[in-house]
Amino acid sequence: MMLSMIFQPAFAQKRPPLAPVKPDTLHFEGRQLVDDWAWLKDRENPLLPAVLKAEKRYADDAFKPTRKLAGKLYKEFVATIPSSESSHPRLDNGYYYYSKSFKGKAYDVNYRRKAVAKAKEEVVLDSNKLAAKKPYFALGCYAISPNQGILAYSVDYRGDELYTLYLKDLAGGKTRQTALENISDFVWQNDNRHAIITLVNERLQTDKCYRLDTQTMQLTQLFSEVDPAYDLSLYRNCDKSYIFLLCYSKNATEVHYLPSENTEANWQIVTPRKPDHIYYPDIYRGSLYNQTNLWDKDGSIAVCSLDNPDISAWKELIPFISNSPISTFQIFEDNLVIIRRQNGFQQIEICDRRTGAAKQTVSSTDVASLDFWFNPDPHAKGFTYSKDGDLIPYSIYNWDFETAEQSLLYRQNSFVIPAQAGIQDNGFQNKSGMTKKNKFDLNNYKSQVLSIPTENGISIPLTLVYKADLDISKPHPLWLSAYGAYGDCNDPYFSSLRLSLLDRGAIYAVAHIRGGGELGHQWYETGRKLNKKNSFTDFIGCMDYLLDSGITSKDLLIIEGGSAGGLLMGAVANLAGEKCRLVIADVPFVDALFTMLDDTLPLTIQEYEEWGDPHDKEVFSYLLSYSPYNNVSRRVYPEMLITAAWNDTRVGYWEALKWTQKLRSSNTAETKIVFRMMWNEGHTGSGDRYQYFKYYAQTMAYALYQVGIRE
């Protein structure tokens, strides 16, 4: 009876629901912190279902005016899917491996074919069958034994990123369900029976490494990480003769190695961990090559003998360039190929493996992301890389070392790219022999990068994408996104779904703010810990530029971010919410102070290097000064769309739910604060592309409606 009195009248009067206030007081360092909605964290609280039902009713009511547009957008999204499309095949141990997507199927199907004439196509794994009648599905490990006989794969059926291992006999087709849960990495050893694996603990820290006998399922522990700030991961060297165990925190690494063929070997260390030293090794012809920040935070490549791998023996081979960080590298017989950022975006550099001398550079004249594709043979005459951009569909190229020429191997089929994108692709035919009539002419769109000056002398790269005939001297609806954390780079990527936004006269923009890694380690350092507020002022500076230049107006500006980018949205809403029409925050990390104070939560300790440890008085005060939840105040807030995921293990659903209540109780305007719960998902959302289309169509429709676009 009491609950109906709390919630029902609010909906009868079209007022937003407000969960009951039940103050919880935390005393820390002589301070008293009161959290009126801490109880929403308790999944078993009998009041919680009523709160969530009320939120759903309110959200459904808010989405009513946009349902027709959402349905139209969904149809447009589905129309971008070809009837079938194949990935580019990779040749591995006598088989071509590839995947196909089919219209009407939510997930890809993995195939292979022997590399001989007239070989039959074999289904390796059909994720659609695995996902059938499951509320959620995500594929984790996907590792085929060296003799190509067994597939090891793992599956998450909840969205909590906890995976269970399965073994499939590719000859007979039978799958064995193992009892091995919480698996993170899986790497086969050369005998086709043993594998090196890592497992996740109850804190979601990957802390154990074992050798697994896949026939008996016997586990032999090889390593245990005792520092809660570190995680473990596995990878192979360039010719697969060694397996590496990477121990990593936010600011340091330690790497161990063992021969792939030796099923009795234990790890040998490269060089012990020390604070602020990050290195990633590879091994080739008895030498150890290390990507390292030993001489500069933006990285160089060092070399030494494998017989003496300690750091004291390292010699710099490829020198550092400050503010142009090395992302990764690959080893070939005569060459070292590195990916380095220049002015925020990747370029590929080919250097002599023995001398380090620069030979050639591969870059893009358009805004694009470059990355290595599949390069399993260090003796190859060239290498393959991928290219992806706002107006460049995902493409794969081959670079020839001898001729210094590149050739297009593959491109998504449904698009015509701008002429300035470079190489002709001969009808957009991929290696599977499939062709697709072009649906979109990307010459009709334009992308550019602006440099936005700020008061402190810092210039922020700002990417804009829009219709080529749009007059941006006049205000238009504009969707501004950013992330700005962990040194992650907000690189351009192609999305056909975004075209529905652009075709309606809106502009899509990305602010490459500090806290990200686009412009090097210093760019990251000046946007984390006790410098975190720089991320917020950088973003607001981009907002101000867009408003002052007349490209958009405050009634046409949408701002959006997720996870740590959701924290950004929360801070900006508190600091400059009057400068935009709508804030979109997905799985937002908005309860930063209370979360970082609770080291019983998964991942909190690992996060100290990013946000700081609030048990330090200075860090505590700084976190308290910007944590979005703690800094909600009586003021006008813009329209807000906030999304949480019930099974999210990285950012608890309660952060967004608590924040929603506090925003509503403090908002002095009539604007809507809408909360949406994704019940069968985790932090990364749904892998079902049709489910994702529905979610994104709903979001885009709601955003467009707010800025006056109704169809």
pLDDT digits (tens, 9 = 90+) for 292-343: 999 999 999 999 999 999 999 999 999 999 999 999 999 999 999 999 999 9
User: Region 195-211: what's the mean pLDDT?
Assistant: 97
Residue 18 lies in a domain: yes
Question: What per-residue confidence (pLDDT) applies to 433?
Answer: 34
* Backbone region of residue 338 per phi and psi (left: phi > 0; alpha: psi in -120 to 50; beta: other values): beta
Residue 471 lies in a domain: yes
Provide the pairing of β-strand 478-481 with 557-562: parallel
Q: 385: which residues sit within 8 A by CB, 6+ positions away?
A: 348, 362, 370, 371, 372, 373, 396, 397, 399
Question: What per-residue confidence (pLDDT) applies to 365?
Answer: 87
> Cα-flanking dihedrals φ and ψ of residue 603, to 5°?
75, -10
Helix (H) or strand (E) holding 576: helix 564-576
Helix (H) or strand (E) holding 586: strand 582-586
Distance from C-alpha of 513 to C-alpha of 485, rounded to nearest angstrom: 9
Per-residue pLDDT tens over the stretch 11-28:
334 789 999 999 999 888
Crossing angle of helices 533-548 and 617-626, in 10° steps, is 30
**What is the reported pTM?**
0.94
Whole-number percent of the chain with pLDDT over 90: 90
Residue 380 lies in a domain: no
Distance from C-alpha of 203 to C-alpha of 486, rounded to nearest angstrom: 20
Residue type for position 649? T
> Cα-flanking dihedrals φ and ψ of residue 632, to 5°?
-65, 135
Helix (H) or strand (E) holding 617: helix 617-626
User: Region 653-660: what's the mean pLDDT?
Assistant: 98
The three-class DSSP label of residue 407 is: strand
Question: What per-residue confidence (pLDDT) applies to 28?
Answer: 84
The three-class DSSP label of residue 545 is: helix
Beta-bridge partners for 234: 245
Question: What per-residue confidence (pLDDT) applies to 415?
Answer: 63
Our measurement of the distance from residue 122's CA atom to the centroid of its chain's CA atoms, rounded to an integer in Å, reads 31
Whether residue 425 is predicted with pLDDT greater than 60 in this model: the reply is: no
Whether residue 617 is predicted with pLDDT greater than 60 in this model: the reply is: yes
At residue 603 the predicted structure's pLDDT band, cuts being 50, 70 and 90, is confident
Q: How many helices (H) and strands (E) in the chain?
A: 13, 41
* Contact criterion met (CB below 8 Å) for 134 and 157: yes
User: Region 61-66: what's the mean pLDDT?
Assistant: 98
Question: What per-residue confidence (pLDDT) applies to 5?
Answer: 31
At residue 435 the predicted structure's pLDDT band, cuts being 50, 70 and 90, is very low
At residue 29 the predicted structure's pLDDT band, cuts being 50, 70 and 90, is confident
The three-class DSSP label of residue 49 is: helix
Whether residue 31 is predicted with pLDDT greater than 90 in this model: the reply is: no
The two tokens of residue 539 are 């973003």
Whether residue 367 is predicted with pLDDT greater than 90 in this model: the reply is: no
Whether residue 243 is predicted with pLDDT greater than 70 in this model: the reply is: yes
At residue 589 the predicted structure's pLDDT band, cuts being 50, 70 and 90, is very high
Residue 503 lies in a domain: yes
Question: What per-residue confidence (pLDDT) applies to 12?
Answer: 37
At residue 416 the predicted structure's pLDDT band, cuts being 50, 70 and 90, is low
At residue 8 the predicted structure's pLDDT band, cuts being 50, 70 and 90, is very low
Our measurement of the distance from residue 135's CA atom to the centroid of its chain's CA atoms, rounded to an integer in Å, reads 22
Residue 260 lies in a domain: no
Residue 259 lies in a domain: no
Strand arrangement of the beta sheet that strand 639-645 belongs to = 445-453, 459-467, 507-511, 478-481, 557-562, 582-586, 639-645, 673-678
Question: What per-residue confidence (pLDDT) applies to 417?
Answer: 55
Residue 544 lies in a domain: yes
At residue 414 the predicted structure's pLDDT band, cuts being 50, 70 and 90, is low
Helix (H) or strand (E) holding 258: strand 253-259
Per-residue pLDDT tens over the stretch 484-516:
999 999 999 999 999 999 999 999 999 999 999
Q: How many domains does the chain have?
A: 1
CA dihedral (543, 546, 547, 551) positive or negative = negative
At residue 419 the predicted structure's pLDDT band, cuts being 50, 70 and 90, is very low
Question: What per-residue confidence (pLDDT) applies to 698?
Answer: 98
Per-residue pLDDT tens over the stretch 377-392:
999 999 999 999 999 9
The alpha-carbon radius of gyration of the chain (Å, integer) is 26
Whether residue 2 is predicted with pLDDT greater than 50 in this model: the reply is: no
The two tokens of residue 150 are 């067994």
CA count, 13 A, side-chain hemisphere, 299? 23
Length of the chain: 711
The three-class DSSP label of residue 73 is: helix
* Contact criterion met (CB below 8 Å) for 368 and 392: yes
Residue 682 lies in a domain: yes
Provide the pairing of β-strand 639-645 with 673-678: parallel
User: Region 446-463: what's the mean pLDDT?
Assistant: 93
The three-class DSSP label of residue 56 is: helix
Residue 513's domain spans which residues? 2-45+54-77+447-706
CA dihedral (27, 32, 36, 37) positive or negative = negative
* Contact criterion met (CB below 8 Å) for 39 and 24: yes
CATH number at residue 9: 3.40.50.1820
Question: What per-residue confidence (pLDDT) applies to 6?
Answer: 35
Question: What per-residue confidence (pLDDT) applies to 7?
Answer: 35
Question: What per-residue confidence (pLDDT) applies to 418?
Answer: 57
User: Region 391-404: what's the mean pLDDT?
Assistant: 96
Q: Report CA-CA distances (Å) from 418 to 464, 467, 468.
A: 16, 13, 11
* Contact criterion met (CB below 8 Å) for 571 and 546: no
User: Region 578-582: what's the mean pLDDT?
Assistant: 98
Distance from C-alpha of 80 to C-alpha of 395, rounded to nearest angstrom: 17
CA count, 13 A, side-chain hemisphere, 540? 17
Question: What per-residue confidence (pLDDT) applies to 533?
Answer: 98
* Contact criterion met (CB below 8 Å) for 99 and 109: yes
Distance from C-alpha of 462 to C-alpha of 309, rounded to nearest angstrom: 42
Query: CA 422, 426, 427, 433: dihedral to nearest 10 degrees?
Result: -120
In the predicted model, what is the mean pLDDT of the chain? 93
Distance from C-alpha of 555 to C-alpha of 541, rounded to nearest angstrom: 17
Whether residue 427 is predicted with pLDDT greater than 80 in this model: the reply is: no
